Amino acid sequence: MEWAIVLFCVGVLYLLFRKKKSKRPAKSAKKKPLKPNNLYDIEISERFLSIESIDFAGLCVRSPDGRYALGWDDPGYIQDSKGRRRARDRGRLVLLAGKKLLYQVGIERPNDPSVANNGVAVVNDWLNGPGLRGDFYIFDRSGTKLIKHRVKANLLNCGISDEGNIAWCNTANSDNEDGASLFIFSISPPRFLFKLDLPFVSPESIKIEGGGIIISRGHIQRRYDRSGNLLNPREVAAAQYEYIKERGEPHQVLALVKQFLAEKDQPISREKARDAVLMLNRIIAQETAHTDYKASAHRLLGELAEKIGDSETAIENYRMALVNNPKVGVKMALARLEKASPLKKLSK
């Protein structure tokens, strides 16, 4: 009994005088401060980067010379219990030179970053929330923001020259002036230069040469002055023509032939007519081509035949156009030609 009383008293004294645990996290649980001049516990591969000390893990890209690594983390969205889309925490952009962390900056939804050989970086911010909009950023190697440019459209891609003196971003379609455009920026000094109506064109390379700006994309090299004026329009037009003639997509071929037929001031040349027939027949011969494309190709072949006075070939192609798409828009033209050609009407 005496031992029970003693144990009871000890328990009461413990409850009365015990120290309350601190709600603050232990020092070891705190994040380490950013010390750009120190080496970090960094793990980096060709595409992934993690820095445990600042609790970062994400994708990464390297500068062309391999000196810099640019990492980013897009937090995206989560869905709440009611099915609504909610933004996560802000994402981050980090830049390393070897194993040295130069900076980390917070960005809502960083995507499509690139870094030049001088450490200048570009990135698209897709932004949280509704609406067609996005921010394009340029940072120097210390993390100083050189440019922030808001567009009223969804951002597609962005890039920077190897030397880090000129950059670009492009946009998806929208119902305003910023849609389907290519935006060009100078970095020294940092400023927006001009916007081009080049839907979905992402330069394979961009550089400053002789005071002008050269934008290269596959088969075409466009040269602009710093106001956005095209300096080699004939060269560009010739390159575009040759590319479409040889391996253009159906919609590109159809647009080009329509352009031929719209030139009413002068008759279509034999060379253009021959090229048009070859390109349109290539669409018709493609097994994977949609019937609407084939219908349009037959319609244009018919219009081309009419333009050079070959009514029989025009009738044949208009009929084939209707087979592929009854709403292709050639019924009146076909009726007019058949009325003028009774034999063709009987053989229908």
Q: Does the residue 14 lie in any domain?
A: no
166/252 same-domain check = no
Q: Binning pLDDT at 50, 70 and 90, where does residue 1 land?
A: low
Range of the domain at 254: 248-346
Q: What is the pLDDT of residues 241-263, one digit of tens each?
A: 998 999 899 999 999 999 888 87
Residue type, 165: N
Integer distance in angstroms from the first to the last C-alpha of the chain? 119
Q: What is the pLDDT of residues 125-149, one digit of tens each?
A: 999 888 899 999 999 999 999 999 9
43/173 same-domain check = yes
- How confident is the model at residue 78, as a pLDDT? 55
Q: Does the residue 108 lie in any domain?
A: yes
The answer, yes or no, to whether residue 25 has pLDDT greater than 50, is no
297/181 same-domain check = no
DSSP 8-state class, residue 348: -
Q: Can you read off the two tokens belonging to residue 63?
A: 């500068």
Are 185 and 191 contacting, i.e. CB atoms less than 8 angstroms apart? Answer: yes
- How confident is the model at residue 260, as a pLDDT? 86
Q: Can you read off the two tokens belonging to residue 262?
A: 């719209």
Look at the chain and report how many structural domains it folds into: 2
DSSP assignments along 168-222, one per residue: EEEE---SSTTTT-EEEEEETTEEEEEEE--TT---SEEEEETTEEEEEETTEEE
Q: Binning pLDDT at 50, 70 and 90, where does residue 13 land?
A: low
Query: From residue 121, how far is each of 75, 126, 207, 271, 272 by CA, in Å?
Result: 20, 16, 16, 48, 46
259/119 same-domain check = no
154/252 same-domain check = no
Final residue of a structural domain among 165, 180, 202: 202
187/255 same-domain check = no
Per-position b or e across 119-153, b if 16+ CB within 10 A of its CB: bbbbbbbbbbeeebbbbbbbbbbebeebbeeebeb
Name the nearest CA neighbour of 91 among 55, 116, 141: 55
Name the nearest CA neighbour of 224 among 199, 203, 242: 203
Mean pLDDT of 282-305: 95
94/181 same-domain check = yes
Question: Which pairs with CB-CB distance under 8 Å and at least 24 residues apart come from 37-45?
Answer: 37/100, 38/101, 39/99, 39/100, 40/99, 40/101, 42/96, 42/99, 42/101, 44/69, 44/96
- How confident is the model at residue 130, as a pLDDT? 84
Final residue of a structural domain among 202, 222, 238: 202
Are 78 and 86 contacting, i.e. CB atoms less than 8 angstroms apart? Answer: yes
Percentage of the residues of the chain whose pLDDT score is greater than 70: 82
Q: Does the residue 172 lie in any domain?
A: yes
144/44 same-domain check = yes
82/163 same-domain check = yes
Q: Does the residue 48 lie in any domain?
A: yes
Identify the CATH number of the domain in which residue 262 sits: 1.25.40
The answer, yes or no, to whether residue 66 has pLDDT greater than 90, is yes
The answer, yes or no, to whether residue 180 has pLDDT greater than 70, is yes
Mean pLDDT of 309-335: 94
123/181 same-domain check = yes
Final residue of a structural domain among 175, 202, 229: 202
Distance of CA 10 to the CA centre of its chain: 72
Q: Does the residue 152 lie in any domain?
A: yes
128/277 same-domain check = no
Q: What is the pLDDT of residues 97-136, one digit of tens each?
A: 998 999 999 999 999 999 999 999 999 999 988 889 999 9
Q: Does the residue 319 lie in any domain?
A: yes
Mean of all residue pLDDT scores within the chain:
86
255/194 same-domain check = no
Residue type, 129: G
The answer, yes or no, to whether residue 286 has pLDDT greater than 70, is yes
Q: Does the residue 178 lie in any domain?
A: yes
- Of residues 8 and 21, more confidence is placed in 8
Are 49 and 72 contacting, i.e. CB atoms less than 8 angstroms apart? Answer: no
Name the nearest CA neighbour of 247 among 287, 270, 278: 278
Query: From residue 115, how far is each of 97, 119, 203 by CA, in Å?
Result: 11, 6, 15
Q: Does the residue 243 lie in any domain?
A: no
